[in-house]
């Protein structure tokens, strides 16, 4: 019999639509104005801190909706922005500089829905408000760091090949290698050229081999510095739980960072300006640290401060592994119940660590934290001058030979282990960055954009509903049900996709999808009318209407989807936001316009003796 839908298809429709509706529902609960409190490296969040926060709120006559203490953080939910601002000021003054007190917007999703993974759809900066930063990578430091790496690589390679050299020096635009005789220089030149085909080797006077980067290598180094910094900035913000950021490249050496929902610009800058890197270095136990403190620092070593003991540590200058080789780090406890950090290195870092530990079992190894801070001065190019500061944050004894998987122990507390793991996992910036542009978008502007966008969607939606109902009667009602489910599915899928952000152009994409969604039904319904006009029975008209219109609908939607895919691939920011909602809308409209409407039509008219159709 014509127009009968199998039972499993009904279950499929109910399952898909139900899942989308479930994950769209968190958007109905809205957000609370909140104050988020977390500890810096010198403090800890505990019940005492929670009591202080509650006392400050009571003293200021602020009635909080809820005060949550979870995962080492306190979240105070408030009723309005005025209470939020006062609470932030009072709490920050009470707790002091050891705590980070930031204003934010917290979803008011029920716990049972959060347990199922339900979260509201993420809104872009133009809708939710927040902060926008334009950051510039210090390419001079990036290039200097690359040349510094070359110095170490050349020393190791020449030593392993048993080619004697006088010294290897880093210069402003490359590296100079000094030799004692011409034969050795020629041998080194041939050997290094074969190992480094992207470098340029030039012989200079006084038996000096000068090494510089080719144009291609220079471009790759600059691009890598920007891409690595983008990755690390995104990881850093995510790890600290501040917001879901938008981080993207702009031009050859600039990075755009947008943090929707962040209202505290100072705290956001503090996170982003934490320009740092890490190094694993061998502790120099062959010389007396007291002699070094008194000014007799041996060649090849240096003194660095160690906050944990208050005494400097004497370290060898040669770097074992850089922080950029770390791909994962997690805190925990060892077999003795003491805090530890489990670390994973990439293949290159693992090989370097293996070579070192083979000869260093029982010796101490230090983790050096390197940060770049601005001096306030500017160079000839009007760019900020950064000062490098180094300090030891951890010293541990090597217990055995290892490579890319190992543990750091000897830590004082689980918090120290957690903080170290967070720092290692967040990664190391390749070069310092400076904020050259800063904008704050207020939530009132975002709310205005949301209201106007919602009005456009609602009026467009209502206009389409009325037209379909008047023109196609009962079949128009079926199309309207499908259109409503289509909107629910778009919101649900946008809420489920990690990293998907709804922006104002994205709302424009939804408005466009509302119009396009009924296009498929218009084609189907018009084909059904044509079949009836040709003398077919109502059941045959429905059957042929859906089957005949399918290929046309598929072709039209595939071409539009491909355009959206191209926009997503080559576009940035607003263009991507538009393309995402457009592509999702095309997929959901195909599902609702063809599968859902046919299931409803078959349930309503299928298998019945009909003399006419309300279409």
Question: For the chain, what percent of residues have pLDDT higher than 70?
Answer: 88
Residues pairing with 202 in the sheet: 210
H or E element that contains 392: strand 384-397
Q: Is the CB of residue 398 less than 8 Å from the CB of residue 357?
A: yes
Residues 6+ apart with CB under 8 A from 343: 326, 328, 329, 405, 406, 407, 408, 424
Give, to the nearest 10 degrees, the angle between helix 81-95 and helix 47-59: 130
- Please write the tens of the pLDDT for every residue from 450-471: 778 778 878 888 888 898 889 8
Which is more confident, 430 or 487? 487
State the average pLDDT over residues 328-338. Answer: 80
Question: For the chain, what percent of residues have pLDDT higher than 90?
Answer: 14
Q: How far apart are CA 438 and CA 568, in angstroms?
A: 26
- pLDDT exceeds 70 at position 363: yes
Q: How far apart are CA 189 and CA 64, in angstroms?
A: 71
Sheet holding 326-333, edge to edge: 326-333, 339-345, 405-408
The tokens describing 362, both together, are 């029982």
| Closest by Cα among 86, 79, 33 to 56 | 86
The tokens describing 151, both together, are 């110095």
Q: Is the CB of residue 542 less than 8 Å from the CB of residue 3?
A: yes
The pLDDT value given to residue 239: 52
| Sign of the torsion formed by the C-alpha atoms of 396, 347, 220 and 270 | negative
How far is residue 614 CA from its own chain's centroid?
52
| Closest by Cα among 602, 566, 592 to 13 | 592
pTM, to two decimals: 0.61
Task: Provide the mean pLDDT of the chain.
Answer: 82
| Closest by Cα among 78, 88, 80 to 56 | 88
Q: What are phi and psi of 342, to 5 degrees?
A: -90, 130
Q: How far apart are CA 154 and CA 320, in angstroms?
A: 14
| Closest by Cα among 126, 135, 111, 148 to 434 | 135
H or E element that contains 580: helix 574-590
501-502 vs 122-123, strand pairing mode = parallel
């Amino acid at each position: 019999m014509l127009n009968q839908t199998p039972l499993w298809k009904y279950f499929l429709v109910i399952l898909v639509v139900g899942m989308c509706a479930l994950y769209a529902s968190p958007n109905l609960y809205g957000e609370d104005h909140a104050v988020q409190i977390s500890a810096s490296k010198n403090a800890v969040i505990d019940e005492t801190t929670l009591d202080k926060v509650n006392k400050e709120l009571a003293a200021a006559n602020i009635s909080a909706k809820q005060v949550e203490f979870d995962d080492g953080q306190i979240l105070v939910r408030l009723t309005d922005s005025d209470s939020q601002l006062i609470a932030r000021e009072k709490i920050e003054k009470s707790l002091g500089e050891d705590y980070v007190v930031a204003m934010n917007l917290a979803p008011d999703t029920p716990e049972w829905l959060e347990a199922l993974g339900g979260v509201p759809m993420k809104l872009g900066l133009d809708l939710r408000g927040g902060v926008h930063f334009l950051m510039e990578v210090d390419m001079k430091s990036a290039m200097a760091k690359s040349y510094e790496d070359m110095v170490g690589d050349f020393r190791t390679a020449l030593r392993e090949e048993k080619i004697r050299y006088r010294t290897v020096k880093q210069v402003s635009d490359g590296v100079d290698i000094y030799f004692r005789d011409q034969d050795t220089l020629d041998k080194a030149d041939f050997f290094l050229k074969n190992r480094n085909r992207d470098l340029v080797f030039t012989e200079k006077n006084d038996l000096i081999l000068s090494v510089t980067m080719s144009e291609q290598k220079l471009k790759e180094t600059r691009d890598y510095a920007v891409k690595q910094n983008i990755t690390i900035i995104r990881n850093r913000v995510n790890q600290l739980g501040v917001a879901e950021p938008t981080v993207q490249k702009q031009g050859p050496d600039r990075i755009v960072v947008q943090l929707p929902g962040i209202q505290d610009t100072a705290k956001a800058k503090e996170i982003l300006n934490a320009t740092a890197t890490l190094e694993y270095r061998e502790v120099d136990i062959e010389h007396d640290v007291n002699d070094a403190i008194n000014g007799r620092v041996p060649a090849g070593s240096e003194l660095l401060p160690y906050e944990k003991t208050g005494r400097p540590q004497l370290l060898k200058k040669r770097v074992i592994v850089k922080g950029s080789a770390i791909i994962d780090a997690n805190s925990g406890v060892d077999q003795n119940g003491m805090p530890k950090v489990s670390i994973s290195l990439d293949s290159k870092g693992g090989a370097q660590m293996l070579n070192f530990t083979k000869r260093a079992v029982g010796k101490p190894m230090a983790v050096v934290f390197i940060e770049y801070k601005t001096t306030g001065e500017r160079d000839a190019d009007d760019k900020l001058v950064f000062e490098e500061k180094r300090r030891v944050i951890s010293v541990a004894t090597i217990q055995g030979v290892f490579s890319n998987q190992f543990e750091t122990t000897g830590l004082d507390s689980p918090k120290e282990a957690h903080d170290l793991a967070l720092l290692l996992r967040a990664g190391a910036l390749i070069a310092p960055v400076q904020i050259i542009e800063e904008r704050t978008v207020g939530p009132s502007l975002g709310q205005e954009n949301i209201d106007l966008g919602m009005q456009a969607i609602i009026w467009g939606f209502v206009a389409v509903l009325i037209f379909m109902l008047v023109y196609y009667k009962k079949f128009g009602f079926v199309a309207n049900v499908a259109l409503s489910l289509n909107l629910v599915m778009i919101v649900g899928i946008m809420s489920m996709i990690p990293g998907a952000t709804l922006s104002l152009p994205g709302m424009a994409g939804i408005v466009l999808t509302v119009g396009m969604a009924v296009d498929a039904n218009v084609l189907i319904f018009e084909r059904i009318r044509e079949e009836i006009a040709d003398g077919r029975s109502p059941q045959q008209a429905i059957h042929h209407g859906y089957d005949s219109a399918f290929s046309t609908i598929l072709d039209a939607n595939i071409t539009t989807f491909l355009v959206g895919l191209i926009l997503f691939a080559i576009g940035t920011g607003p263009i991507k936001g538009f393309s995402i909602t457009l592509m999702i809308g095309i997929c959901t409209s195909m599902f609702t316009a063809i599968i859902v409407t046919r299931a409803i039509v078959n349930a309503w008219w299928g298998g019945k003796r009909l003399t006419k159709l309300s279409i």
